[in-house]
């Protein structure tokens, strides 16, 4: 795995705070891109082979990660937070989190939780929602917090270290969802930058996916693709039992055949499954309760052929998450084969299979 994956994970970027992620992507894309495409909401894509008469193909991650914003300071100096993205309060008790200034200066803190000594013998309290949590930055009053640099609207992101598991095969970090997709999009573009491919290929990241698939709408309109492939992490249930359609690490990429906002296009599903079988790329079917940018992209203009190449990930939308090296390789192999096959005839054939 290239260094870029880890470097992208470490940048803080809650929904609408993606500018530092975007800067990183621009820096790595500009040296070889034929074209950089940005929209007014902030999504960024680079194109290669853009003069091709073949189909326009987009590979998209999303630059944002789940996080929060500062919405107030209590008179005792505790910081009030608003979740940006779906997060449960009980997962975030006693967690290291950092408030970032616009220049990425850090104001570290810990989310307040009651030790058992304070709750013993008392009626069990209702679990807190995320927005009811308070971040303790060590300030002694509202004024003190302000002196330390806290301002309304700053982003708050969990703090943890990138960790490789003892078997060397799994990687634990915040923000796999979805810096993985951004890094993979760049990775695939780099792979093909000097190659002869049958399509005009764009890769990059959208903004504000976690806030309701917002960036995908304007990015897809701007790029006007024939095919839009979202590369995104989906939560695995395998460490809690689960079944054959709820995601397992080390079982290959996910064919997300159904989610609440997108029924996978039959032609795309067939093409992807046939290609994966032909090249011995491991995949698993996945039924999702959430959406990806593909759901929004499919509704752009006259409609877009979309698919999500899903990356199995445990514990997303918490302070951290885990992925498997072999699944990363499966996603990468699948995208490479897809790009090589997406010529005008194949796309016409895919379209017919609705
Ligand atoms: Zn995601």
pLDDT value for 220: 97
pLDDT in tens, 77-102: 999 999 999 999 999 999 999 999 98
| pLDDT level of residue 118 (50, 70, 90 thresholds) | confident
Least confident segment among 7-11, 41-45, 113-117, 309-313:
113-117
Q: How far is the CA of 168 from the centre of ligand 1 (A)?
A: 24
Predicted local confidence at residue 293, as pLDDT: 94
- Ligand 1 centre to CA of 62 (Å) is 7
Is the pLDDT assigned to residue 138 strictly greater than 80? yes
Question: What is the predicted pLDDT for the residue at 133?
Answer: 96
- pLDDT > 80? residue 354: no
CA of 190 to the centre of ligand 1 (A): 22
- Ordered by where they begin, the domains of the chain are 3-65+174-352 (3.40.630.10), 67-158 (2.40.30.40)
Q: Is the pLDDT of residue 68 over 80?
A: yes
| pLDDT score of 187 | 98
Residue 7: pLDDT band (50, 70, 90) is very high
Task: Report whether pLDDT(349) > 90.
Answer: yes
Which pLDDT does position 215 carry in this prediction? 95
- Which residues are known to be catalytic? 209
Task: Convert the pLDDT of each residue in 14-31 to its tens digit.
Answer: 999 999 999 999 999 999
Per-residue pLDDT at 234 exceeds 80: yes
Paired with 81 in beta bridges are: 70
- From the CA of 324, how far away is ligand 1's center (Å)? 16
**pLDDT score of 168 more than 80:** yes
Looking at residue 321, its pLDDT comes to 97
Cα separation, 179 vs 109, in Å, equals 24
CA of 243 to the centre of ligand 1 (A): 21
- Average per-residue pLDDT in the chain? 95
């Amino acid at each position: 795995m290239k260094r870029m994956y880890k470097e992208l994970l470490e940048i803080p970027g809650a929904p609408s705070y993606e500018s530092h992620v975007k800067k990183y992507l621009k820096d790595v894309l500009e040296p070889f891109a034929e074209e950089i495409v940005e929209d007014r909401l902030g999504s960024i894509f680079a194109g290669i082979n853009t003069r091709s008469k073949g189909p326009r193909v987009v590979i998209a991650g999303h630059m944002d990660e789940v996080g929060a914003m500062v919405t107030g300071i209590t008179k005792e100096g505790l910081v009030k937070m608003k979740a940006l993205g779906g997060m449960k309060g009980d997962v975030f008790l006693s967690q290291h989190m950092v408030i970032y200034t616009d220049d990425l200066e850090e104001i570290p803190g810990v989310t307040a939780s009651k030790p058992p000594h304070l709750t013993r013998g008392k009626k069990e309290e209702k679990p807190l929602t995320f927005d009811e949590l308070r971040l303790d930055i060590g300030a002694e009053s509202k004024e003190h917090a302000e002196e330390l640099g806290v301002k309304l609207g700053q982003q708050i992101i969990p703090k943890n270290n990138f960790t490789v598991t003892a078997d060397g095969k799994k990687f634990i970090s915040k923000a796999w969802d979805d810096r993985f997709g951004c890094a993979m999009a760049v990775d695939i573009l780099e792979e093909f930058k000097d190659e002869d491919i049958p399509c005009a290929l764009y890769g990059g990241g959208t903004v504000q996916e976690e806030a309701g698939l917002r960036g995908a709408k304007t990015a897809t309109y701007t790029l006007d693709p024939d095919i839009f492939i979202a590369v995104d992490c989906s939560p695995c249930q395998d460490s809690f039992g689960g079944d054959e359609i709820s995601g397992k690490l080390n079982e290959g990429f996910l064919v997300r055949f159904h989610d609440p906002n997108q029924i996978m296009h039959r032609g795309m599903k067939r093409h992807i499954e046939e290609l994966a079988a032909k090249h011995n790329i491991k995949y698993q079917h996945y039924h999702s309760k959430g959406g990806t940018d593909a759901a929004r992209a499919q509704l752009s203009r006259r409609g877009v052929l979309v698919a999500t190449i899903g990356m199995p990930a445990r514990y997303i939308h918490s302070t951290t998450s885990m992925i498997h090296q072999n699944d990363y390789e499966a996603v990468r192999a699948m995208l490479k084969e897809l790009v090589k096959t997406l010529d005008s005839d194949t796309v016409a054939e895919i379209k017919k299979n609705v």
